[in-house]
């Protein structure tokens, strides 16, 4: 079974990634599982650049196939903030209840058509000695007018998906993992990986 490292320290992401990639003939290790504890400086100017930085750093370090996820929430009314700064928004260690409450407050009394937002996820796949490949997934929605739901992580309790009339934190994990930005990016990366592993 082929070992693949997923270069993330975010446990919420890792849980979803494992659920979405379940059934593939791979041994998927988080950074923690692989015994890697390094701080990668994410100084790219896009989700794609940051995903490549993370995947290539760990691929160089280990010589293994490495995947990395860079993702975030773009809110149109806030000029696409927090965007690539989603994890660092209002401080890396600030509880999400505080971050989410702040965003709801910023959008107070703003009409629905101006509350548009999207989750974006770019996954980079780095093979030793080869070019890194990326795939991006997006889910469109709105900023809810109140916090709702306790599933998922991060900004899920304020991200409202009109098709399902609830936030991504109200959804069962199985549903979020079918329709999310991360699900879409990972489905596309699955094809890249399958092709690569078949051609070896």
The binding site for ligand ITT (CB under 6 A) comprises 8-10, 13, 42, 69-73, 86-87, 119, 152-156, 180, 182
d(CA 138, CA 78) in angstroms, rounded, equals 18
- Of 62 and 197, CB closest to ligand ITT: 62
Shortest separation between residue 31's beta carbon and ligand ITT, angstroms: 7
- Of 123 and 133, CB closest to ligand ITT: 123
d(CA 14, CA 185) in angstroms, rounded, equals 14
Token pair recorded at residue 103: 């965003």
> Inter-axis angle of helices 181-198 and 11-21, to 10 degrees?
60
Shortest separation between residue 125's beta carbon and ligand ITT, angstroms: 14
d(CA 41, CA 180) in angstroms, rounded, equals 26
- Of 187 and 197, CB closest to ligand ITT: 187
Shortest separation between residue 62's beta carbon and ligand ITT, angstroms: 16
d(CA 115, CA 108) in angstroms, rounded, equals 10
- Of 87 and 197, CB closest to ligand ITT: 87
d(CA 13, CA 64) in angstroms, rounded, equals 20
Of 92, 93, 80, 103, the residue nearest 156 (C-alpha): 103
Shortest separation between residue 54's beta carbon and ligand ITT, angstroms: 6
The SS3 of residue 149 is: coil
DSSP 60: H
Query: Which residue lies nearest ligand ITT, judged by its C-beta?
Result: 154
Q: Which residues are catalytic?
A: 70
């Amino acid at each position: 079974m082929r070992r693949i490292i997923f270069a993330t320290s975010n446990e919420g992401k890792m849980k979803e990634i494992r659920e979405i990639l379940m059934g593939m003939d791979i041994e998927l290790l988080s950074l923690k599982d692989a015994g890697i504890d390094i701080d990668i400086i994410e100084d790219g100017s896009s989700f794609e650049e940051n995903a490549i930085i993370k995947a290539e750093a760990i691929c160089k370090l280990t010589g293994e196939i490495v995947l990395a996820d860079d993702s975030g929430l773009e809110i149109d009314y806030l000029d696409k903030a927090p965007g690539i700064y989603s994890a660092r928004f209002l401080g890396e260690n600030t509880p999400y209840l505080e971050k989410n409450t702040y965003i709801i407050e910023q959008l107070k009394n703003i009409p629905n058509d101006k509350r548009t937002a999207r989750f974006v996820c770019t996954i980079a796949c780095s093979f030793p000695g080869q070019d890194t490949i990326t795939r991006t997934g997006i889910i469109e929605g709105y900023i809810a007018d109140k916090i709702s739901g306790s599933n998922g992580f991060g900004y899920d309790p304020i991200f409202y998906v009109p098709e399902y009339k609830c936030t991504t934190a109200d959804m069962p994990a199985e549903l979020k993992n079918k329709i999310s930005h991360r699900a879409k990016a990972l489905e596309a990366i699955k094809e890249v990986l399958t092709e690569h592993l078949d051609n070896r």
